Amino acid sequence: MARILSKLVFQVSITMFIDETAEFADIILPDASDLERWEMFPANDPYAFITPGPGKWFWLMRQPVTEPPGQARPWTEVYLELAERLGILDDVYQIGNTFWVLSERYKLEKGKRYTIREIAERQAKTIVGDHFNWDMVKESPCIVTREKTIEEAYPRSFFKAKVPIYFEHFLRAKKEVEKVTEKLGLEWDFAPYSPVPVYIPCPAHSESSDYDLIATNHKLPFHTFSSTAENLWIDEISRGNPYAYYIMIHTSVAKEKGLRDGDKVCVESQYGQKITGRLRVTELVHPNCVAIAGTFGHWAKRMPISRGKGVLYNALLPPPSLERIDTLSGQIDMCVRVRIYRVEE
């Protein structure tokens, strides 16, 4: 990724932190945080998505509790100003009217300049009604619109569509893709194009005496990818969690390899990549696996909260190749065979 970013002729990053991507930027524009900007967030209203179960439809209005520091601005304001300077603001409005599902009365008009707050107000009036005003969100950002109907609370019971068991459209897709790959002279794995489930082992499932474990990656309920790693409060939760920043192996594996809880260890993949971190011995991991949480291991100099904490699982993977990509879904094979051993402090 570093090699790819270094080839860009010009890069602009709008960010709250000078992270690894921003390290390569020619211009960095400071972004406002979630607590420093207006934003319409429909929550569970049918305007956006449906949360099954009885209850009420409601939506939320994100409001700034303080002004952004220094020259920081919400990225949405930056985009609107850029669009205005480029002379395409009316085109952006046209897209916004559709994307935000604004009612006819509250659609953004050509030739006018709206603030983010005014756009959020138009979204709110589209959903709640003409009676919406900002006093309604002073005490609480949550506005209840109405009770759900039985059909909305339990939608599955009222769906008329059938759920297919035999995915015959995969066979049709296979024929179409075959035409393209033959024309381009590409070798293509058509095994995933099966109308019924089939087991297709990834390369890591092949036996190897030297690399005897399989690395697995899992999510943490209090993190969102790597973007929350710099959050001071979430970092405090992570440091208090016994597993978040650790490399995990099963008790029996630790005993067999002479490893102890808290050891500094190296995980080396069959492709030669290595990562180091602290070991957590636990019964929560399958004896054949090494478990690593989240997407940690930040190295950017201006990320003091997250820098050097946890390990970066992706560093174990080889460069992407067609052999490691599922030809049906486009997903990358994240499974890799590894070995683990203690390293000196």
pLDDT digits (tens, 9 = 90+) for 188-201: 999 999 999 999 88
* Residue 59 phi, psi (nearest 5): -145, 165
Asked if 102 and 123 touch (Cβ cutoff 8 Å), the reply is: yes
> What is residue 176's predicted lDDT score, i.e. its pLDDT?
97
Distance linking the first and last C-alpha atoms of the chain: 29
Of the candidates 32, 35, 55, the residue with the CA atom closest to the CA atom of residue 45: 55
HSE-CB at 59 with a 13 A cutoff on CA atoms is 23
44 has pLDDT over 80: no
Instruction: Please tell me the least confidently modeled range out of 3-12, 122-131, 189-198, 285-294.
Output: 122-131
Of the candidates 112, 107, 83, the residue with the CA atom closest to the CA atom of residue 97: 107
43 has pLDDT over 60: no
> Could you tell me the two tokens for 24?
């390569």
The arithmetic mean of pLDDT across residues 204-214, rounded, is 86
Q: How far apart are CA 48 and CA 80, in angstroms?
A: 23
Average pLDDT taken over every residue of the chain: 90
* 47 pLDDT tier (thresholds 50, 70, 90): low
**CA distances to 20, 52, 60, 162, 286 from 44, in Å:** 34, 9, 9, 25, 37
> What is residue 183's predicted lDDT score, i.e. its pLDDT?
96
Asked if 200 and 192 touch (Cβ cutoff 8 Å), the reply is: yes
pLDDT digit string, tens, across residues 210-224: 899 999 999 999 999
The arithmetic mean of pLDDT across residues 25-48, rounded, is 78
> What is residue 1's predicted lDDT score, i.e. its pLDDT?
83
> What is residue 50's predicted lDDT score, i.e. its pLDDT?
60
pLDDT digit string, tens, across residues 262-319: 999 999 999 999 999 999 999 999 999 999 998 899 999 999 999 999 999 999 998 8
Of the candidates 321, 295, 317, the residue with the CA atom closest to the CA atom of residue 20: 295
> What is residue 263's predicted lDDT score, i.e. its pLDDT?
97
> What is residue 48's predicted lDDT score, i.e. its pLDDT?
54
DSSP string, 71-121: T-B-HHHHHHHHHHHHT-HHHHHHHHHHHTT--GGGPPPTT----HHHHHH
The arithmetic mean of pLDDT across residues 99-112, rounded, is 92
- Reduce the DSSP state of residue 126 to 3 states and report it: helix
Of the candidates 60, 54, 119, 62, the residue with the CA atom closest to the CA atom of residue 93: 119
The rounded percent of the chain whose pLDDT value lies above 70 is 97
